[in-house]
Structures are given as structure tokens and as C-alpha cells.
Amino acid sequence: MQIHLNERTVSIQSDETLGTIRDRFKPEADILILNGFPAKGDAKMTAGDRVVLIRRGEIPEAAELEAQLMARSTPGVYEAVHGATIGIAGVGGLGSAIAVALARSGIGRLVLADFDVVEPSNLNRQQYFIDQIGMPKVDALKANLARINPNVQTALFHGRLDRDNIPQVFAPVDILVEAFDAPDQKALLVGAFRKHFPDRPLVAGSGMAGYERANSVITRRGGKNFYICGDGESAAAAGNGLMAPRVGVAAHHQANAVLRLLLGEEP
């Protein structure tokens, strides 16, 4: 009969058990997962069972890791998004969280653009670590994404985006995500990208400061191939800062909009 072993289909004898499968395929494994739950002892096998054999501290080979990441995706999603290239302009609170969500979802390639470096004040909401303070954000994010999903390819632009370089930096992308803080930067990016690539979707963020209700953050259409995520109002100001929970809600609206667009759905 056949079972799924580390997300590959293998044939086993009808009298084999979880223990004998471990001994035959990966005797060094010290964690045995059967149908999504850690096994507490030996167990009989039935056709179609899903077994994952893990050795503590061991990083799976790239193909095996990819197969295991695919296993938890909604059916068909990984295959549809793996070939996509997504641009992210700004990798602060929004952009770094969007990149992490897309990497975990199996996006094949990310184009990351930002001029800034990691500062202590960023750590209240951005996907960086204390030992990365002072690093260019694009370099730090690339390192963090590689620890999450080494199959994701990244192209980096460390510098300021302007009307002249935006078309070159984001020429390869299927969808662009705007994740800037300053309104003038947002307007410049949206204007330049939509002028040069009117048929490519752009997903922007607007309004996610403070700790107002999370449900006021929504995704709405802003025009042809243009979507805006946020409440549209709450800007960062004195007494109304940018905080991880609400920024994260908006970021995941943007990441989800990207996935829906790649799957042919309306965000």
C-alpha cells in the first residue's frame, strides 16, 4: 500500500508500522509525526497515512522542504504562486511583514527595495532582530527570508526610488506592493509604476496607525489594477504611532490581495 512520507508517496508492506518505516527510511529520526500529530509510540499504518520523519537540528534538503511547505498550503495555491515575481517598495513595518507572509506562502521571487537601515525604533513592528541593527534593511530581510524559506529568490535594491529608476527596478514584477510611510513617496511610486505598467496590479497601503479596531482595516479597489489596504485615515502622528498589531493586519491584507490576484480572484 502507499503512504505519504515526508510529503512523497512511497510503497510499504501492509504489516509495516511507524517504527519499521522509521528504521527503513530514516533511522536517525527522533521526531515522528503521524497524520499531523506527534506519535507517542509505535502505530499501525493504513493506506494514505501521512508520516513526517524529523531529526532534531537537521535542515531538510531543498526539495524535501519545498514539498513539506506545499503540504500545508490550500490545494493549488503553491503551484500557482511559485512562479510569480512580486515587488515590494519599502521593507519597513508593512513591507517586511508582507515579504515574510509571501515567502511562507511559496512565492518564487521577491524584488525588495529600500534605502534605510535597521534602527532600534523599528523593532516594535518590523521583522528584524537586535543583532541586525545598522544593517541595510534589504540585506537583513533577505537573510531572514532565507531562514524561513530558502527556495525564495530575492533581488535587492538598496537606494532611493525615483521616477527614473522605478521602471528598471520593478520591470520583472508581476505585481507591485507599495509599503512606504511618507505620502509623497507613495504618490511618486504609484504614479510612476502605473504610468509605465498600467496593466500590472499595484497593491498599496493607507491608514494603519494606532490601536483602533482591526476590523476597520479593509481592502478596496482604488482604480483599474489598483488596490488599497488600510482604513484610509489613520496616519502616524504624535500620540498615534505605528504599532505591530494593526500594521500587521494591513500588511497581511496586502499579502492576501497579492495571493488572490495571482489566483485570478478579486481582492
**Which CATH number do you get for residue 134?**
3.40.50.720
Same domain, 43 and 151: no
Model confidence at 128: pLDDT above 80? yes
Residue 70 lies in a domain: no
Report the distance separating Cα 74 and Cα 116, nearest Å.
35
Do 117 and 234 sit in the same domain of this protein? yes
- The residue-averaged pLDDT of 38-50 equals 90
Quickly state the pLDDT bin for 217 (edges 50, 70, 90): very high
Average pLDDT over every residue of 26-36: 89
Residue 63 domain flag: no
Name which residue leads in pLDDT, 139 or 77.
139
Q: What domain range is 120 assigned to?
A: 77-262
Is 66 within the bounds of a domain?
no
pLDDT value, residue 96 = 98
Mean pLDDT of 218-235: 94
Phi, psi of 9, deg, nearest 5 = -80, 125
Distance CA 213, CA 155 (A): 35
Residue 262 confidence class, pLDDT cut points 50, 70, 90: very high
Residues 164 and 246 both lie in one domain? yes
What integer is the mean pLDDT of 132-159? 96
**Are residues 244 and 113 part of one domain?**
yes
Work out the percent of the chain whose per-residue pLDDT is above 70: 99
Q: What is the mean pLDDT of residues 189-215?
A: 95
Residues 54 and 105 both lie in one domain: no
Q: Do 15 and 145 lie in a common domain? A: no
On average, the pLDDT of the chain sits at 93
Question: Considering the entire predicted model, what is its pTM?
Answer: 0.86
Q: Any idea what the CATH number is for the domain that residue 9 is in?
A: 3.10.20.30
Look at strands 50-54 and 85-89 and give their pairing.
unpaired
**Quick one: 142 and 16 in the same domain?**
no
Q: What is the DSSP letter of 75?
A: T
Residues 54 and 22 in one domain: yes
For residue 15, pLDDT over 70 is answered with yes
C-alpha distance from residue 229 to each of 17, 48, 146, 232 (Å): 50, 41, 27, 8
d(CA 80, CA 242): 33
> Are 125 and 159 in a shared domain?
yes
Do residues 50 and 141 both lie within one domain? no
pLDDT, position 28: 93
162 and 243 belong to one structural domain: yes
Q: Is residue 90 part of a domain?
A: yes
The pLDDT of 206-225, averaged and rounded, is: 94
* pLDDT value of position 72: 67
How many structural domains is the chain composed of?
Answer: 2
pLDDT of residue 156: 98
For the segment 64-108, what is each residue's pLDDT rounded down to a tens digit? Answer: 777 777 766 777 788 889 999 999 999 999 999 999 999 999 999
| Distance between CA atoms of residues 69 and 137, nearest Å | 26
Confidence at 35, pLDDT banded by 50, 70, 90: confident
